[in-house]
Structures are given as C-alpha cells and as structure tokens.
Chain A
Amino acid sequence: MPTVSMKVNGQSVSHDVADNTLLVTFLRETLGLTGTHIGCDTSQCGACVIHVNGASVKSCTMLAAQADGADVTTIEGIANGDDLHPMQQAFHENHGLQCGFCTPGMIMSAIELVETNKNLSEQDIREGLEGNICRCTGYHNIVKSVQDAAQRMGG
C-alpha cells in the first residue's frame, strides 16, 4: 500500500492506504473526520464536498492518492475555535439547515462560491449550488444564508 501524505485542516497526516481508497473514505475512516458525508454513489449529491488546495471538490470523485501533497480543508477545519466561519454562522442565523446531513457539503460549496464570485445574485447562488442536493429545506433558507454570508465575508 502506498503512503499518502497531505495537510488536513492545517495538520500534516501520513497513512498507508490502498490504491482504490477514495478521498472521502480516507477522511472518514482513516482520519475519523466524519463531518464529510456520503449521500450517493454517483457524485451528484454534494454531501462530501471539501476544499482541496482551496477549490471545492466532491471527495467521492477523487482517490486519496490523488490528494498526496495537497492542502485539504473539511467542515471540521473552517471554524476558528468557538468562532464559527461566517458561512456556518449564516446557516445558523437563517435556518439554512434541518437534518444537517447535506450541510457540511453545502457550506463548503457555498464558501467557494462566495470567495470566487463577488456580487452574487440570487440566481447565481441557486445555480452555483446546483451540485448540492438538500431534501429538507427547499433551498429557500440556504440561499438566504449564502446571501447573508456573502455580506459577512465582504462580498
């Protein structure tokens, strides 16, 4: 088994993993970072979205080995101690979550969306989150959360 090394939430990790280990499995099973979820088998639901070198990635579409040397951030790594990331805070303030299962992926996608797009319109947000499925909220409050976070993040 090859050794895979990467930085996850600021910490260097190094583990032997099978060639076919998905990055999401590596995070959940090897590192115990269970905040990243698996909601489908076809890379469509977005529950597993994380950031790899700053870009949002569906971690079920990537092998752990492909992240060798990368800088990985998961939902567990975006708050600063007890201070939530503005996107986390905005989801809380705007009731942007219900069962919470899609939430980590939704927040990670939304952060990249806001960071890479200034002056997002409501339609931009709706289209930008097309790769994340939520069954609970009807998206209304997720969109509001992202609009609020964009303000908080100086967008």
Chain B
Amino acid sequence: MPEGIAEGIGASVRRKEDKKFTTGKGRYTDDINRPGQLHAFFIRSDVAHAKIKNIDTTKALKSDGVAAIYTGEDIAADGVGGPICGWAPTNRDGSAPKEPPHPLLANGKVRYVGDHIAVVIAESMEQAKSAAEQVKIDLETLAPVVDLSTAIGNTQIHDEMDDNVYFDWELGDEKATADALGSAAKVIELTVTNNRVIPNAMEPRAAVAEYDETNESYTLYTSSQNPHLTRLVMAAFMMQIPESKLHVIAPDVGGGFGSKIYIYPEEAVCTWATKKLRRPIKWTANRNEAFLGDAHGRDHINKVKLGLDQNNKIVGLRVDTLANLGAYLSAFAMVTPTYLHGTLLSGCYDIPTIYTNVKGVCTTTVNVDAYRGAGRPEATYLLERTMDYAARQIGMDPAEFRRINFIPKDAFPYQTAVALQYDIGDYETPLNRALEMIDYKGFEKRRDEAAKRGKYRGIGLSSYIEACGIAPSAVVGALGGRVGLYESAVVRVDPTGTVSVFTGTHSHGQGHDTTFAQIVADKLGIPIANVDIVHGDTDRIPFGMGTYGSRSLAVGGTAISKALDKVIEKGKIIAAHMLEAADSDMEFKDGKFAVAGTDKEKSFGEIALSAYVPHNFPHDKLEPGLEETAFYDPLNFTYPAGTHIAEVEIDPATGVVELVDWACCDDFGNLINPMIVEGQVHGGIAQGVGQALLENAHYDENGQLLTASYMDYCMPRADNFPSLQVDYTVTACTHNDLGVKGCGEAGAIASPPALINAVVDALSPLGVTDMTMPASPEKVWRAIQNAQTKAAE
C-alpha cells in the first residue's frame, strides 16, 4: 500500500455503500415499479395436506381489475418446470435419492400450509386480494405429517416416495466406530434436538418481471443472493427459454441468511405470466408469507454416542440424524444435512473414527434448507452440547476436556475421519484468549455473587470449526453436486485509471463494495473512491455462483485478486515497452511500474491511458485495452475456527435467561476489513442466541404454523444483548492468495451451544443436565420447578 492511502488490506475502512442506505436511497426490489405493471397475489393452502378437488375461478375472474388467474393446470399445460435440487447425495445402498416434483402451483395436491394453489393477477394488489377471496377451492383434507420423529412410514405425502424418506446417507466407518465405542472406557449418549427456525431477512422477498416483445427477452428484478443461478435454473429447467434471453437483476437486497439463495415459485410464476399478459408483473411478500413460504432452517434430531478412553480422550463418535426437509426439496436441502453436516462432525477434535447416518425426511411443512451456517451449526451444536455433557459426566472442566482433545497445532494438514482435510489451525490459542477475555478463572466468584442476589449464573463454551467456500468443483461433482463452486471476476481499468470490478458474488449486507475495493486499492495503489464494485446483474457480470457459505471473500475475493494480478502483469509489459526495458526487469510497487534498481517508472494511470491510447504500445505482444477476467476454483474449503463463551443469569422466579456477557476469539485467517468482520461476528452471534433463547418455528399437530408473525415468533431485540467482546487470532489460509477464510457464519455456528451450555451450567447445581432450544422462560422455569420437586422428594 502506498503511504497516505490507509484503505488497503487490514484497514477498518468505513463502508462505501452506507450513504445510500442511511439516506433512504437504497433500491430494493419493492422500490422498483415498471410502467403498466400488474400485481400478483398468491392463493395459499390453509391446510397442511389435501387433494385439490376443484378450483372455480368464474366469479373471481369478473372481479374488478383482474387480468388473469392461473392454477397448476395452466403451468403444466405450458410445460413449465419447478425448482430443482442443486445437490443429490447417493444413498448408503448406492441408489439415488428421491426427488419428487415441485410444481410452481399445486397440481392435484397441496403439501403444506402456504403451498401455492393459484395466482391472481390484477391492476392493484388490493384488487388481486379482493378477487382471491372469490376463488372457490374445494379441498379434500388428508392426514398431516408434522412430527419429525414419527414421519417415516407415516401417511404418504408424494406418490414417488412410499416412506417419506428423501435419502438415507452415511459417512465414515460404521464398523470401526462400533468397535471403538464397544471398547471405550465410557460412552456418553445424548439426544440433541436442533429446533426449527425461520430466517427472517428484514426485506421480504419480492419480484418484478417484465417481458420485452421486441427482443423476446425477459427482465426479472428479484431479491436474490445468486442472480446467475436464478437465471440458469429458470431458463434451463423452468421456462425452457434461451438463458441469454433472461436478464436477472438482484438490486439492493435486505439480508438473506440463506433464504434468498433458492428459486421460489413466486418469481418464476411472475416471469412466466409476464409474457402471457405482455405486462410487467410485481409481487412482494408480506411478512406472513415470508414465515409461511421462505425456506426454514435447522430442524434435526440427533442421537449421539461419544466414546472416551481412560484418559478422557475421544476414541469414536456415532451420530444418527433425522433431518426434516419439509414438503418439497429446496435447492440445497440435501447437501445441508449431509456434506455440510456429516463432514463437520470431527469439529476441532482429534477423533480416530466417526460414523454418521442421516435420513432426509419429508413432512407436510414448508421446505427446510440452508440457513446461516447450513449444516455446520447443526453439527457444531450436537458436538459441543455433547462435549459439555460429557465433561460434566466425567467431572472434568469443560475447557480442559476440549483442550486435551483438540487437534494439536503441529498436526496440520489434518485428515479427519469424515473426509475433510483441514489445511491449518490452532484451536488452543483462541480458547485461551476467550477464557481470559471473560475472566473464566473468576467465574465462581461471580456465580456466588449472583446467588446472593437470588440468581443462577452459568458459563458455557463452544469451540467450533466450520468449512467455508465449498470447493473444489471436481470434488463437489463427485459427491453429487450439480454445480461448480468457483467464482468469477472481471477487473476493468478505464483509460483514466478508475477501476470497475464485476463479481459473481452478491452483497446483501456483507459490505463487498468496500472490502473488495480495499483489495483493489491494496494491489493497485489507488484510492477506493476510484473503485466500483458491480454485482447482482447477469447482463454485466460474466457468471457467478452468488453469496452463501461464507464464500464471497475466500472464493470471489481470490478471483478478484487473480484478475488484478493479470492486470499488473499486462501493465508491466506495457510499461517495459514505454521505458524501453526488458519485461523481466519490471516491478510494480506503490502504484508504480518501475524498472528494478532505477528511477525509471510509469504511474498506474499512465499505463491505463496507454492501454487505451496505444500510440507507444507493444502491439507485437499485446492487444490494447486493460481488462482481465479470472475464474477461481479453490483447492479446498477454508476452515475458520474459534471459541465463544456465554455467561448468563437466570431468574428462578420467572425462568428468564439474561445474557450478561459474551466473549469470543475467532480465527478467520487474514482480515481485510476488521470493522466489517466484527459486524459479521456480532450479527451471527445474535442469530445464534436468537435460536437458543427466543426463536422457534412451531407447527401444531394439524400442520398449522402458529408462529407466523412477529406477534408469535420472537425475534431478538436490542435489549436481549449485552455488549459483545470480540477478538481474533490468525492462522492464514494456506491455499488462497489472500490467506482468508470467511467470517459470515461463524457467530451463528458457535453461539447456540455456548448459550445452552451456559444455561445448563447455571442450573447444574439443581441437577439439571440438559435443555432444549429455545431456552424460553417457561421451559427454564419448569426445569427449575422439576429439579426442586425432585430434590424435595
């Protein structure tokens, strides 16, 4: 970095994108209106499982302002396909998983409350809603299948699947694990339930679709984390139109957390119908629709067996998981509980043998898919709950029990028993730092002091590892992935030396406009004000896999870095020609191309101008212009890790759990913008604490979602948190240019077990050994009452 530009890698640069958002100038999909647009309203099933006997639209079609009403029959008649799965793991018997069709509008049957029955398209949303009330729908209700533990073999939901099991997958050595557990000095057994949660990005999903007759092309504005995948799937599998005729724009997007990865029926129906009606069509979800229709997260039941030897070293682990995937398979529903879950079961620990079996189960509830962390929070939760439970069983300090089982820092690269090879790590340093930050040694004093005030105080740890930036594509393909997981970048240098970067990742809160500009500033020695980051537009960006799995920096940032390297290499040859030097003598430093060992140099701006005004230019070696593209396919995942510690106080009179302190130390490799990283950690912790303390998607026995508004679904608020203590250690990733690992999901992965372990610790003097999420006041109060009753007996 040249002196005077404190905007390079490692600087907490304030965000370039803030001004539009703080002044109300952000442009989200619902802010977009097209001339002559119609409005779509979806009629949704109000029962969980039913046959559609008849849909009568006669009266509704005469309602004011109605342009059209379409049902599943219209979709089927036009041969429009439904959403597809991005990943299909092989069953343990070698067979393929079952992938029942997912029609855009229900065809013959509805399978969850919220399932799309018909769309009413009218001049205004009010008119569409009003007409929808006139549509007569005759349903023959069928038995719902709601409870995950009893769903297998229950009432059949899809014709293609007689047992309600989408897949039955395994990983690891079953026999070796059985042997290890059989000869273990102690086997710890625990059932760990990961509650179902709802992503709740603050911007509800929306779509505006428009057909252009002159070009026979479509434009779709949509709240998406990956516009290119939307275009690919919609063009090739749903609409069957040339991919080049569909222009997808994901403008400002108000949070995603996974829920906006997928291609949902609404945007596809709007895109299909806009051509039929030759009018733009707009749809914006209300919050109730977001609860009912956005893919939910988590929802696993795990039976865990952990074997220990006489020295309390882990000898084996077996996990049997039921994963509720809901009524239809969402895009990444099958990879989330398998390759993003089973492969993480070694955590930070040296475990000689592991076996896991996962059954993906169909229920009459909305789809479940990746939600911030995607499989890794579920794996971490069951492992870190079990580690804590085990430490209590053997009477060992939970920090020490983790410490003796950590993979030692000199053991990297480390091959786990569940396929992954961790390239680098050091788990003890962040553990020790987090313990110091929260004053672990002084905890018992604080517990005693709280007891004097009539409160139960507890402390809970979670040492996690995650795997970010899924890769490489060849391995992804071998394991059933149907996509590549590289990223693209174009670096376009203008004649005046300003730079535009076109990235296939998408920023919806992560601050790419700033972080990516810092990479450019650092490498080219130009101010970030001269750098524009362009994302979210399939017409402007070559291709991209979008943003999820904390991949944007590790994969997308590295692609940018590689494209920048190409720009610098080309610049060196131009400069060598202009300075009459050999190419090999050129170096680029502090924004200047110089002949090594001399004072002969050309500025970056001079080279940019020369590339476009090539009067004195090496035409024999180069084409004019200064624009380079890189596609980067990583060699491996990256492996962030760290320790989070929660401290809570419980009021026995009310059961309310108050989070009183939080300390964490994470290793994300090199940091580009520490301020943004810290914000990602804060947000992740809040989502994890939300799951552990407040949030729960609750379906009743009929399959009605009882938590379908902010009246019933408890979102974390500002007064649920203390200030959060965040620190870092660094082991740089060994296989990408920037040495970065990713930070977007760590907080959400680490925090639920830390919180629950703290609650259990607080109640442990009463004999409480377990607590399910969320640790709601009622549940905690009952646990206290039960423990006290038992003690009195």
Contacts and interface: CB of A to CB of B under 8 A. Distances in A.
A58 to B, nearest CB: 12
B255 A140 contact: no
B21 A126 contact: no
Would you call the interface of chain A mostly helix, strand, loop, or mixed? loop
A139 B686 contact: yes
Contacts of B682: 137-141
B482 interface: no
B675 interface: yes
Which of A28, A75, A98 has its CB near the most chain B CB atoms (within 10 A)? Answer: A98
A34 B25 CA distance: 8
A74 interface: yes
A92 B676 contact: no
A135 B22 contact: no
Interface string B25-44: 11110110000000000000
Contact of A74 (B24, B31, B716): B24
Which of A39, A44, A45, A136 has its CB near the most chain B CB atoms (within 10 A)? Answer: A136
Contact of B715 (A34, A84, A88, A133): A133
Interface string B497-528: 00000000000111100000000000000000
A136 B24 contact: no
Contact of A35 (B15, B17, B26): B26
Contacts of B747: 138
B711 A42 contact: yes
A100 B252 contact: yes
Contact of A95 (B288, B676, B687, B709): B676
A37 B203 contact: yes
B23 A101 contact: no
Contacts of B718: 125-127, 129-130, 132, 134, 139, 142-143
A63 interface: no
B724 A138 contact: yes
Nearest to B689: A138
A124 B769 CA distance: 35
Contact of B511 (A91, A98, A103, A127): A98
B612 interface: no
A17 interface: no
Given A39-B203, A133-B710, A140-B721, A99 B255 contact: yes
B14 A91 contact: no
Interface string B202-244: 1110000000000000000000000000000000000000000
B625 to A, nearest CB: 35
Q: How large is the interface on B (under 10, 10 to 19, 20 to 34, 35 or more residues)?
A: 35 or more
B202 A45 contact: yes
Nearest to B680: A98
Contacts of B252: 99-100
A116 interface: no
B18 A136 contact: no
A33 interface: yes
Contact of A88 (B14, B22, B679, B685): B22
B254 interface: yes
Contact of B717 (A28, A88, A99, A130): A130
Contact of A40 (B24, B26, B255, B287): B287
A129 B711 CA distance: 17
A75 B647 CA distance: 38
A42 B287 contact: yes
Which of B17, B26, B682, B718 has its CB near the most chain A CB atoms (within 10 A)? Answer: B718
Contacts of B22: 75, 84, 88, 91-92, 97, 100, 103-104, 107
Which of A103, A122, A143 has its CB near the most chain B CB atoms (within 10 A)? Answer: A103
Nearest to A47: B202
Nearest to B252: A100
Given A37-B28, A100-B254, A136 B509 contact: yes
B723 interface: yes
B19 interface: yes
Nearest to B253: A99
B262 interface: no
B603 to A, nearest CB: 30
B18 A41 contact: no
A69 B530 CA distance: 46
B723 A135 contact: no
B410 interface: no
A11 interface: no
Given A99-B202, A127-B719, 5 more contacts: A40-B710, A95-B14, A98-B509, A129-B717, A130-B719
15 contacts: A33-B24, A35-B23, A37-B254, A42-B287, A79-B23, A98-B510, A99-B252, A101-B254, A104-B24, A122-B723, A134-B202, A137-B679, A138-B687, A139-B717, A141-B678
Interface of A: 28, 33-42, 44-45, 47, 74-76, 79, 84, 88, 91-93, 95, 97-104, 107, 122-123, 125-127, 129-130, 132-143
Give me the 7 closest cross-chain CB pairs, A-B, nearest first.
A35-B24, A100-B21, A101-B254, A99-B509, A138-B686, A138-B682, A98-B509
